[in-house]
Amino acid sequence: MEKSVDPAPSLSISAFFAGKTVLLTGATGFLAKAILEKILRDLPEVGRVILLVRGKGGEDRSDEGAWRRAETEVFGSDLFARLRREISCDFDRFVREKVECLAGDVRHSDLGLGAERYASLGEAVDLVINCAASVNFRERLDTAVAINVHGVKNLLEFARTAGALLVQVSTAYVCGQCDGKIEETVVSGTRNVDEEIADLRAIVERVERVYPDESSRVRTLIKEAAHLARARGSIDIYTYSKYLSECYLERHRGNVPVAIIRPSIIESSLSEPVPGWIEGLRMADPILLELGRGLSSFPFSMDAVIDVVPLDFVVKTTIAACAWTTFHPDGIRVFQITTGSVNPLLQREIIEFTRSYFGFPNGEENPASGWRIPPPGRFAREIIRRVRFLRLIKNLAERIP
């Protein structure tokens, strides 16, 4: 029997957001940027949206520097073209009225704001939407834990101080190698999450002691991250760190209303703000791009499902979850946004669609036409042979005077 969801009484999303102050993290990223655009375009009743923007490298880390970064990386995106057209010359004024940028960092307990500004922000914020994350599948251990675990911990404490709702963007792949039906609940492991986080911190400290050289330390932290993730049953350090953050929220939430958003592979928009909008190369895009460029082979099962979900589906679910959770503050509500069980996309269909696309409109030959799909075992053996051959050539070349 399918689990039923109690409807929120007289739920009006626009009424919920009216006058609210929203803290949005990760705003320069793909998803948060789209959430911001949707709020500004369809929920202009919102009080303010405060963007917590992290400085880049040695750039100006003042609030004005954060605003300049947002102007370039957020509002400079063609994602906002529709909103610009709709409000014309008033766009800049509207954005300045509705949006505030603060230079900060979720990795710090005070969000990088300092005690006074942290307290002031806590008095103003009603809702926290956390999209800040390291999405690097081969991230170094210390960075993944700092952003994806400690960042969530710090935002939970901020939400507790502010009396605010926390909406955490996670991933549908937190359950790792599990088979069968995945429920919309937090999957608790056999270990205490606090002990697990402490163990990760100890590993990072050991690596820092043993490897004072930066390059060696980074390589080791990347290897440790991959090894730990696989040992814990996860796919990679990204999904493992997201799993830990969910466990932490479940254990330490207290009375903070929390919603967790679990999308699968987020790809281009279906309809909003325009059909097909995407930025950069997303999760599945590099494979499709290389297929079109003439990649000779890639191992996968032709009948395997690749679970992709349109960007605007995730945006709408996240915004709706904010209002829904307010009426259901007890416990943690998990919202999974996937397509594989209701509208599966097979790997063989991706190949067919890609071949058709690169041959459009005249049906001419294209680089994707001769793609080989070897079994994973054969592909792995072929790669090993090639690597050994390259090592042999390298050793011979190094001996040449």
Please identify every residue annotated as catalytic: 238, 242
Do residues 313 and 31 make contact, with C-beta atoms less than 8 angstroms apart?
no
Q: Give the residue from 53, 159, 69, 68 showing the smallest Cα distance to 113.
A: 53
The pair of structure tokens assigned to 341 is 């069980």
Do residues 267 and 308 make contact, with C-beta atoms less than 8 angstroms apart?
yes
How far apart are the C-alpha atoms of 378 and 386, rounded to whole Å? 12
Q: Give the residue from 209, 228, 211, 229 showing the smallest Cα distance to 220.
A: 211
What one-letter code names the amino acid at 350?
I
Q: Of how many residues is the chain composed?
A: 401
Q: Is 209 exposed, middle or buried (0-12, 13-18, 19+ CB in 10 A)?
A: exposed
Tokens 């490897």 label which residue?
Answer: 211
| Integer CA distances (angstroms), 398 to 250, 388, 390, in order | 55, 15, 12
